[in-house]
Structure formats: structure tokens, C-alpha cells
Amino acid sequence: MANQSEEIKNRLDIVELVSEYIRLKQAGTNSWKALCPFHNEKTPSFVVSKDKQIFHCFGCSEGGDIFTFVQKMEGMDFPEALRLLAQKAGVKLVAQDPKLASQKNKILDICQEASRFWSENLKPESAKKINEYLINDRQLNKETTEEFKLGYAHDSWGNMFNHLKSKGFNEQEIFLAGLTVKKERGQGFYDRFRGRLMFPINDAHGSPVGFSARALKTDEKGGKYINTPQTLVYNKSLVIYNLDKAKEYIKKNDYAIVVEGQMDVLAAWQAGTKNVIAASGTAFTLDQLKLLKRYTKNIKIAFDTDVAGESAAKRGIALALSEDLNVKIIVLPDGKDPDDVIKADKKVWEEANKNAKSIMDYYFDQTLDRINLGNVEGKKEAAKILLPIINKISNKIEQTHWLQKLSSLLNVTESILRESLPKSEPEKSPEKTEATVQVTKSRNTMLLEQVLAMVLKYPINLPYLIDNLEPEIFIDDSLNDLYKKLIIYYTEDIDNNIDNFDYQEFHNKLKADSLDVIADKLVLLAEKDFFDFDSEIIRDELIKATKFCKENHYNFQLKEIEGQIKTAENKGESEEVKKLIEQFNQVIAQLNVLE
């Protein structure tokens, strides 16, 4: 398993991986910085090292490699992260560890096989009518159908169930994947999806986690669409349809187009609009918005309903505004949905996208079209509709802009409108956690960390440090142990030849004593604080820091000795006083040498 994880790490670049989740800014030849995704902060303290393939946050102390990052971001355990990253790296896992057969991974395997099986069902001659429906009625070409892995579930009570059992999955695992239903009478299960067009729903990484199934019969009792129920891997409020394919285009265009259904996505994608995704119904959840914010802060909504009148849509939009997202509305002619518009005239869709209105302009236009502002009742009604929406805008400058516009329209002072804003409940003070509370370090410890960070990042300075800084000055046990390991590596392993210094080789020697994590953290500290320093400045900084460390250490010793002298004097121990005064003078002499 260790060999497989190392192979995955060698094939993947941590900078590219982390960039899929957060916006990184280069801060040196081999380091990148960002606002930490694991705690709230205003200045970047999250650092990623390209050459070391590690990350560390100097605000909350989270750190590690690609596996640690994915586990933390996705809430996964190691086997799940291993599976996900193996897929990215193109590494076929050999199940050497029983943990790999975790319940979640089994369900993912089942969903993968189900998607493949249903997709294969569209190819035979027996699926001719379904393909004619896709081509003639939905105007979807073969390339789109195959790219989205559309499939067909036979109108059978046990077709999928029996197939998955033949692949070695047991009935309980198939049930937990949401693909079967327990029989009401007697024992056993039957297929949940029968006689339907199947849309695989992928997570952000492209793995199928659930399915949406469209009825092909007009008299279908189960509803036009039925979906996978919530499972260990599928939660509707956490998944965005087509995000796996669209995310790169969303980042490139810096906006996402949100449509209502899967068919709208397929039509837009086929027409060349690649930054398109679908919400579940008409409402975004907070988790979906946070997921989307990894790629952009700008969204355009193209629903086939009156957005301003849909309470579910308004809740989602209000959440987007509270998350400081920029929201626009794509207004389509005659209340049509994107699929219909694109099939009729692709240029109309492109023009509507180009002329999308800001959400607030849309709400103002919709409200003013319906309400007469010539009387007091109309003004009250307009304020009743628009003030709660304005109140959701988190950016105070933008909020003030719309209050001023409403003030002008209603001929009511801004202060009156501001007083009329709905009162929100006072926020509770967030509880302090280990992730948000920083441990205050002594100045000396921080300086010693910087010293070691500089020589680990720039090992050419190691001989100077060994000659000028004694190990006993490192009063922190872990830093002391690390420094001693450095001295041994330099003097014994590479025989005082700094040209042979190999960080990875040294790093491997630290693992037995669990010092490798500390070393990685210090290297990132150097990349964070000294990324734009040249070799001469680094040398000067090291000399100054070494001097400060020694001064702090000696001054600390003097204070300790002074306290001991007072104690000995109070006890009348004259000989002990003489010894302590001699020690005091020796430390003074060492301090004087530094002057």
C-alpha cells in the first residue's frame, strides 16, 4: 500500500490538486500562498510547496501531503482519499488492505458498475426507440449521450440487481447504494429504476454517486423523475450536476451558468456552453454554494420559472447573496427553458446569456412591473418585497447602492429604509477550537524555528549554523532533536560536504522519530517568509537571527541565575552564592562576545 500511495504522490502535483479547491497565488519559485480553507482569515497563511509536495497553514497548523489535504477538504478517511487520488493519477489499486473495502468504496464501485451497465444498454438494437427519442425529441447527438454516459434501465424487476450480484456485490451493499427497494411482502429486493432513461450524477471528481431517472412512459406512476435516495456517498444538497466536467470552464470564464435540469445542461453543453451546471430543483444549498465558490464568485441563473416568485429559488438566491456571490439572471423569452430555447435558436440563448441582468436589477424590474408606486400602498408593497432581499446582501457598499436606488424610486429617505430593514438575530460568538486558537510562542522559539527553516530551505548555510549555534540553545525538545539530527547528517552521513545535502534523504531519516512533519513545516515557513530573498540576504538574516537567539538564551540564563542568587542569599548559603555569581559572570562574558 505504501508503494501505491508513493506512486500516486509521484504522479500528482499538489499545487494543481489544491488549485482545484482554492485560489493559489505564487509566492516564490516553488511556493504558493492562499487564504486557508480550514479556518477564517484575512491574510494568507496557507502555504503549498511544489518541490516538497506538502502544505501547511501557519494560522491553524493544518498541514501534510495530498492525502491529508483531500481527507480534510472532503471529509474522507484515508482509503477513500486513496481511491480518489488513484483515479486522478491513473493508478490501479491492488487491494492489499482490507480497509480499502470500506462501505463507501463498495457503494462507489456499485455506482460505477451500474453506470457502465446502463450505458451499455443504450447500444443494442433493442434500445432503438430510446435512441430515436434522444436524437429526434431531445436533439442530442451520440457524442453528448456517450460523454454524459446516459443509460437505459430495462423495464424489469431484477435486471440490475441480478447483474450486480453476478459481479460479486451482496444484496445489502446494492440496497445501501440506493439501487434496490425492499419488498413490502416477504423477503428480498427489487430494482428501484425500471424502464427509465438514466442520468449518472457524479461528484466533483467525476465518480458516479447517484442517479436521476426519467420516465419514458406518459402514464408512469412513479413521477417524471425519480432519484437515488440519500446514501453514504450521495447527498443531494452536496452535489451539483455536471460540476465535474464544467469546473475547468467555470474557472476559465469566471462564472457558472445554473440551469434547472439535466436536459438543460446537456442542451447547453452540446451548444458549446461548457460552464453549465444544474441545481437540484430551484434552490441552492449553503454547501453547494461553498463548493461552487472554489471555482468562481459569479453565477448566472437560467430557470424556466418566474425566479422572483419562486420561494425555493429566492431562498437559494438569498443564500448566494449572503455568501457575497455575484448573481445574474438569464431572462429567456416566453418563459421557455434553456433546452427549448437552444433547440429553437442557439443564438437566442447566447444573446440572453450575454445580456444577463444583475439579480437586483431583475428583482427591481419584476417588482415595478407589477406594482403602482403612485400610492402609499404600492410603496409599502414594493418595500416589503425588496427590503428583505437587500438585507441579504453581505457587502455593505452594494447594499447601500440598492437602498439609495429604492429611496429614489419611493421618494423615501435612505435612513427610513435602513431603519425598516428586517432585524437579524445577533450572531453568537464562535466557539474557540484548536483550529482557530493559535498557541503563543516565546520569541526565542519563533526565532529558532526561523533559523532551522532557513538552513533546511537553504542548506548551504548549515555549516555556519553548526559552527555558531550550540544545540543546548534549542530548549524546545523537538527543535533540539531536529537540530541534532541535522548535525549528525552533515558530519557523518555526508561527511561535511554540503553539496551532498539531499533534503528527501534527510527527511526519510526523521520519520522514525516523527520529526519529518516538523521539518516540512519549517521548510514551508521559509518559503512563506523568505521566498523573495536572495542568497546574500538569507545569509544576513541567518547571522542576525543566530545572534538574537544566543542573546535571548543568555539573557534568560541571567534571569534564572539572578533568581537562584536571591534564593541562596536568603538562605545564607554564601558558597552557593559565589558559584552562582561566577556562572553569572561567565554568561555575561558570552554575551559580551556577541557585541
In the numeric block, which cell numbers belong to residue 404? 439609495
Within 471-510, residue ranges assigned H as helices are: 477-488, 503-510
CATH topology agreement for domains 243-362 and 371-420: no
Fold classification of 102-234 (topology level): DNA primase DNAg catalytic core, N-terminal domain (3.90.980)
3-state SS, residue 108: helix
Q: Where are the domains of the chain?
A: 2-98, 102-234, 243-362, 371-420, 443-594
Over its length of 595 residues, how does the chain's per-residue pLDDT go in tens digits?
A: 557 888 898 899 999 999 988 889 998 888 999 999 998 888 899 999 988 899 999 888 889 999 999 999 888 888 888 888 998 888 887 654 444 456 788 899 999 999 999 999 998 777 888 888 999 999 999 999 999 999 999 999 999 999 999 999 999 899 989 999 988 877 889 999 999 999 999 998 889 999 999 998 776 666 788 999 888 888 888 899 999 999 999 999 999 999 988 999 999 999 999 999 997 655 688 888 988 988 899 999 987 555 544 555 677 788 888 888 999 999 888 778 899 999 999 999 999 999 999 989 988 988 888 898 989 999 999 999 899 889 888 888 999 999 999 999 999 999 999 998 887 554 444 443 333 333 334 667 888 888 999 999 889 999 999 999 999 888 888 999 999 999 999 999 999 999 999 988 998 899 888 888 899 888 888 877 777 677 888 888 888 888 888 888 888 888 888 889 888 888 888 888 888 888 888 888 887 777 6
Closest alpha carbon to 528 in 10, 38, 72, 24: 24
Q: In angstroms, how far is CA 338 from the centroid of its own chain?
A: 30
CATH classification for the domain delimited by 243-362, as one of 3.40.50.410, 3.30.565.10, 3.90.550.10, 3.40.1360.10: 3.40.1360.10
Q: Right CATH number for 371-420 from 1.10.10, 1.10.3470, 1.20.50, 1.10.260?
A: 1.20.50
Would you say 503 and 6 are in contact if contact means Cβ atoms under 8 Å apart?
no
Report the 10 Å Cβ neighbour count for 285.
19
Task: Say what the alpha-carbon torsion angle 76, 77, 83, 88 is, to the nearest 10 degrees.
Answer: 50
What is the CATH class of 2-98?
Answer: alpha beta
Q: Which residues in 154-205 belong to E strands, given as ranges? A: 180-182, 189-191, 196-202
Residue-wise pLDDT tens digits, 103-156: 788 899 999 999 999 999 998 777 888 888 999 999 999 999 999 999 999 999
39 φ, ψ (degrees, to nearest 5)? -155, 160
CA distance 273 to 24: 26
For residues 188 and 197, the answer to whether their CB atoms sit within 8 Å is no
Per-position b or e across 164-203, b if 16+ CB within 10 A of its CB: beeeebeeebbbbbbbbeeeeeeeebebbbbbbbbbbbbb
Q: What are the pLDDT digits (tens) for 60-107? A: 888 999 999 999 988 888 888 888 899 888 888 765 444 445 678 889
